[in-house]
Structure 1
Amino acid sequence: MEAPERIDLVNPVVRRRLREADDDWEGYWARAAAELPWFRRWDEVFAWDPPGFRWFTGGQTNLAYNALDHHVRNGRAGHAALIALNERGEQRVFTYGQLQRSVEAVAAALRGLGVRRGDRVAIYMPTGPEAIMAMLACARIGAIHLVVFAGFGSSALAERIRLAGARVLLAADATWRKGTPVDLWRIASDAAGDPESPLEKVVVLQRGGSPVDLDPGRDMAWEEFLARGQGQSGDYEVMEANEPAFILATSGTTAKPKLAVHTHGGYQVAIRSAGAWCFGLRPDDVWWSTSDIGWIVGHSYIVYAPLLFGATTIAHEGALDHPGPETFYRILEEHRVTGVFTAPTAIRMLMRYGTEPARRFDLSSVERVVSAGEVLNAPAWEWFQREVFGGIVPVIDHMWQTETGGPVIGNPYGIHMLPIKPGSAGIPLPGYSAEVRRSDGTRCEPGERGIVVFPKPFPGLTPTIWGDPGRYGAEYWQRIPGVYYTSDAAYVDEDGYFWFSGRADEVIKIAAHRIGTIEVETAFLRHPAVAEAGVTGRPDPVRGEVISAFVVLRPGHDPNEALRRELVETVRRELGPVAVIGEVNFVSMLPKTRSGKIMRRVFKAVILDRDPGDISTIEDAGSVEQAREAWLQMREELQRQPGT
């Protein structure tokens, strides 16, 4: 980005880094890449053949080698690499040496199944050691992993396997969610039985205690799978920087998934750099990302980036509030966690329980908390930073996407933390270019809402969509010709800080005024009775649209007309008369994607009484049928309320 014209809030150290990156963009990224080991240095930093591009062409590397072998060879074999926890109280710890040996065993087993460089391997497992070993093993031998969140229904899993052309599926038979076992094997088996499935072999990790039915020609147990590695090499492949390491579907706010591609070279440069610049990651960290490996956050900041630094990473399987809200804080205390990556959804969930659970634990080891997924609303930020962490620990918002691999806009904590503006994602990090533009491609003025675009690529940006390069160009680089279209709406203030207001297609237009869904939801959260809020626009013959709100109340508050009026007045006080509320609907839950994003198109479907399309990615629904039941539940709750 160009250094902000107004620099009162930008520290001179940050300003210098921004200008260094702007003056010598390729040189800046070359210096960032040099922080990692390479088998062979690149011939060319960047080559652009729009819409595609290549980073570090000719460079030879391996993502898994740099995450494990490099540290073992440099004397850190005995340092804790992975602490694996689950909601049932189980714990396993792996040093770098132990994790490397385990990954080598899985790599040899994959070769024993006939998996070779460039083959796709689907992984349908919860966040646990075997899944992480499988990811690293695939990268180690040059196979391309596709992790599918362990909770998607069989149709969603089968579709992703077909799109990727995966030959092998590694699955678990069960996981647990708030103490309840979830049958993953039935879902995996159904998906594998799809008549169009390219799968040849399915491996199941049995952990549920009950036997599973195996197709003898297709399926095998994990132990048999590992035995296939006998006589096979577990060594790493030397990969060219632009060879794919993995593909990952976008999180499901659109109806048809897109498989973003991330490479061995550019991806690791991006997540390692952003880990240093944005999060201040370092080798002595005990780092906990509360995400799931099924999402890009889990890939980048549970697995790969912490291991690239030689840090200790925590992987937690299950709900953060099971068996109670103290679970989150207990993990922080017991493992002396220094850095936390979480999501606004998790913070708002903890907020519903109040601060009492937090006060029972020593949180003094925590140095910083970062949050992403959606905008961290100011009320949630204020509660977490000021009440939970006493105003001592910074809670920092930032923005990125599946397609970007890692953070793009944030507060450069690892360089020099800037003043936090609650509700803002921060500024573009050094080396990144981001602008807000109108639909005609012209730049917006400060304070004017538009579409966030990236004028040029960066190493972590997906260079294509797997199997659909035409869609990549059409949806990302041609909607506003010549720039990458993020589909996110925002404005930039006079200090260069970005303020996101939701997806571009979710902006509500009231009497020619544009208002972001995030802004309205934040206003609702200002009321002490509100735990969560989601909004959408409803057609109105006079104003074009008005706001339809769905509100989840905190314990101890009951829906009534007086409360409705209070909530409407709260929003009007925060946003002014432009925020016209059509109705306030009290609901018991909000529909969310598996990564925690509110699925506002489900609200729209409920209001307009129409089918919402593919809602198989809705949170806490293991199949399309269960997802549709959640949609029906919202409709029924709406129909029971007065005036509907």
Structure 2
Amino acid sequence: MKIKSYRQYKEDYKQSIQNPEVFWADIAKQFTWRKKWDKVLEADFTKPEVKWFVGGKLNITENCLDRHLEKNGNKTAIIWEPNNPKEESRHITYKQLYHKVSAFANVLKNKGIEKGDRVCLYMPMIPELAIAMLACARIGAVHSIVFAGFSASALASRINDSNCKLLITANEVYRGTKPINLKAVCDEALENTPCVKDVIVYRRTVEPTTMKEGRDTFWFDELQKIKDDYCPAVDMDSEDMLFILYTSGSTGTPKGMVHTCGGYMVGTTYTFQNVFQAKKDDVYWCTADIGWITGHSYIIYGPLASGATTVMFEGVPSYPDYGRFWEIIEKLKVTHFYTAPTAIRALEKQPIHFVEKHNLNSLKVLGSVGEPINEEAWHWYNDNIGKGTCPIVDTWWQTETGGIMISALAGITPLRPTFATQPLPGVQPVLLDENGKEITESPAEGSLAIKGAWPSMARTIYGNHQRYKETYFSAFPGKYFTGDGAYRDAMGNYRITGRMDDVIIVSGHNLGTAPIENAINEHEAIVECAIVGFPHDIKGNALYAYVTKYNDIATDEDVLRKEINQVITKTIGAIAKLDKIQFVSGLPKTRSGKIMRRILRKIASNDAENLGDISTLLNPEVVEEIKQNVL
């Protein structure tokens, strides 16, 4: 399954495009199936409908757990690092995980959960989250994991949309030094979620927990009712639902992306093995939260199906200090480290001694995920963390794609800083002009779309297939539209240039924010920035920049504003000069690291009274600061 050379990559890619059914059949037969498929692929992008491994029967947990027991049962499956470094780490073997998952699967059955039922998980980054999601998959229940930072109203809307019967949560969790009462959030949400009949609560802290009689029970108490820890895996059709995961919609209404069993398993495992090139004794750490697709695919399903050792981290990179990531790498001898550019830039801002006091020699591969990485952050990551010896896999993919689509293969693909490089086998990216015509020459820039189906793609939006069609398949009929723009160089390498809706028309010119931001970020005084449009009497729209600078830079702000516009003029042109530049201590972000440009647009447009719910932000306090100092 693993590609071992660039020549093999080229050969495999060619075969995957010319004869995808033969290619994916060869990959899929390396998994455990209860019944082999009748047909590899049925796809019609006009409807759109896609089915992979049609008629095949399996259970993904048998591939993540059971098949490893005989030879690797005592191998560590999950290493858990707590928020507080003084608390003990937990090492869970494949055999132990198998028994824990089976036992909790029996808990779910005792609660009346059956195949096809939806179960909501609103939990911190603890092993019990992995156990609960795998237990759902074991019995054919559909898990819907909601990031444990969303507000009560956001949680309620997701529970109601997917009609969940059961909610699993924890009483409380600490993020850094901040206590978060998850149970209180759930109680508020449950005032408006009549579909939920039962709540199971994991006691993460010793704090008193309010429980509602007849509805709420503790995790441990439920386990005590179980006589054994054996639970047979339920037969699942390849196209049965595995999970629903909500992602933001342009209309503000979240979209419940539906991923199914067979194709998702094959796609995520194949991409994990080839992008990261992990070996038997390697220790792999993805810093994402399991509440996002990165955590689903590249903390749990992909690594466990591959028999890897995967790290779960409960905390934040700044607690107890900004050396926490590097301390964990040294402690666990992490070989593969996968994080977001947002985290890299935040850590880059700190004194280098936080890095230098730790031994990072165990590292073999670095990864980037979540957004395009700018060149300065790429080089800092390469020079200071990888010491120039670790390939950086800059991965592009989405909740909707399920798995990585464009990325270097570690140690195999020639790298180019800030470029995701080349598509994985089975993925056919195309660039389209404003008329939807495919751009065949290179170099070129355009809208990024995908031709043809790939195994891990989402099949629909839960309960609203028409919205799925309109959102992803109507802009360019016959193709999946990613919503992103991209640049392709003469060698066929792709660089993601940003969301197509982050294009601002200034004096009749279409200006993408990503290249302007990249130019600003190259200034030695700048950490990061975000650009939005605001109404302008003459230009129609003008550009407003929110800029974070290094704390120890003494440059006068007016001088710095002039220098920033000089950089933009030199890099892009005078048309892209900024009308307003506001210096801020930070940018409002989701906990996955996404900058909330919607909020910044409203503030710049003097509409700060209608920001909506900001409780789910990583740093809601920065919004008030920005509002107070708006230009």
TM-score (norm 2): 0.94
- Match of 1:507? 503
Contact 1:282 1:310 in 2 (8 A): no
- Secondary structure (helix, strand or coil) at the match of 1:451 reads strand
| CA deviation map 1:518-577 (0-9, x unaligned) | 212221111122122111123334444332110112222366211222222223233232
Asked if 1:636 corresponds to 2:628, the answer is: yes
Contact 2:77 2:308 in 1 (8 A): yes
Change in Cα spacing, 1:575 to 1:417, as seen in structure 2 (3 Å) is farther
| CA deviation map 1:589-640 (0-9, x unaligned) | 211122111111211111112255544474326xxxxx5x6534321121xx
| Aligned-partner residue type, residue 293 of structure 2 | I
- Secondary structure (helix, strand or coil) at the match of 2:428 reads coil
Q: C-alpha distance in 1, partners of 2:404/2:606?
A: 37
- 1:499 Cα deviation from its structure 2 partner: 1.9
| Aligned-partner residue type, residue 13 of structure 2 | L
- Match of 1:148? 146
- Match of 1:131? 129
Q: C-alpha distance in 2, partners of 1:465/1:314?
A: 30
- 1:243 Cα deviation from its structure 2 partner: 0.6
1:594-609 alignment runs, 5 A limit: 594-609=591-606
Contact 1:84 1:129 in 2 (8 A): yes
540-549 vs 451-460, greater mean Cα deviation? 540-549
Contact 2:367 2:393 in 1 (8 A): yes
Asked if 1:30 corresponds to 2:30, the answer is: no
Asked if 1:481 corresponds to 2:472, the answer is: no
Change in Cα spacing, 1:18 to 1:511, as seen in structure 2 (3 Å) is farther
| Aligned-partner residue type, residue 633 of structure 1 | E
- Match of 2:564? 567
1:470-549 alignment runs, 5 A limit: 470-549=466-545
- 1:48 Cα deviation from its structure 2 partner: 1.9
Q: C-alpha distance in 2, partners of 1:34/1:42?
A: 10
Change in Cα spacing, 1:68 to 1:146, as seen in structure 2 (3 Å) is same
Count of paired positions = 620
| Aligned-partner residue type, residue 557 of structure 1 | I
55-64 vs 432-441, greater mean Cα deviation? 432-441
1:335-484 alignment runs, 5 A limit: 335-413=332-410, 417-444=412-439, 445-484=441-480
178-187 vs 573-582, greater mean Cα deviation? 573-582
| CA deviation map 1:157-205 (0-9, x unaligned) | 00110111100000011111221111111101111121x4310111111
1:162 to 151, 155, 160: 160
1:554 to 504, 525, 550: 550
| CA deviation map 1:81-110 (0-9, x unaligned) | 111112202311111111111111110000
- Secondary structure (helix, strand or coil) at the match of 1:471 reads helix
| CA deviation map 1:302-328 (0-9, x unaligned) | 111111111111000010121011111
- Match of 1:332? 329
| CA deviation map 1:386-422 (0-9, x unaligned) | 2332211122212000011110011123xx6222221
Q: C-alpha distance in 2, partners of 1:600/1:116?
A: 41
1:218 to 197, 203, 215: 215
| Aligned-partner residue type, residue 533 of structure 1 | C
| Aligned-partner residue type, residue 142 of structure 2 | I
2:35 to 36, 40, 49: 40
- Secondary structure (helix, strand or coil) at the match of 1:138 reads helix
- Match of 1:3? none
- Secondary structure (helix, strand or coil) at the match of 1:403 reads coil
- 1:474 Cα deviation from its structure 2 partner: 1.1
- Match of 1:641? none
- Secondary structure (helix, strand or coil) at the match of 1:271 reads helix
- Secondary structure (helix, strand or coil) at the match of 1:193 reads helix
| CA deviation map 1:422-463 (0-9, x unaligned) | 122212111111111134321135344322111222101001
- 1:514 Cα deviation from its structure 2 partner: 3.1
1:44-55 alignment runs, 5 A limit: 44-49=39-44, 50-55=47-52
| CA deviation map 1:186-229 (0-9, x unaligned) | 101111121x4310111111222111111102111112222343
Contact 2:32 2:62 in 1 (8 A): no
- Match of 1:307? 304
Q: C-alpha distance in 1, partners of 2:511/2:376?
A: 19
| Aligned-partner residue type, residue 629 of structure 2 | E
Unaligned ranges ≥5, structure 2: none
- Match of 2:113? 115
Contact 1:251 1:295 in 2 (8 A): no
1:16 to 11, 20, 25: 11
Identity of aligned residues (%): 35
Q: C-alpha distance in 1, partners of 2:351/2:517?
A: 20
Asked if 1:240 corresponds to 2:228, the answer is: no
- 1:508 Cα deviation from its structure 2 partner: 2.5
| Aligned-partner residue type, residue 147 of structure 1 | I
Q: C-alpha distance in 2, partners of 1:572/1:533?
A: 17
- Match of 1:229? 226
- Secondary structure (helix, strand or coil) at the match of 2:231 reads coil
Change in Cα spacing, 1:513 to 1:279, as seen in structure 2 (3 Å) is farther
| Pairwise CA RMSD | 1.9
| CA deviation map 1:233-257 (0-9, x unaligned) | 6221121111111110115676111
- 1:352 Cα deviation from its structure 2 partner: 0.8
Change in Cα spacing, 1:252 to 1:590, as seen in structure 2 (3 Å) is farther
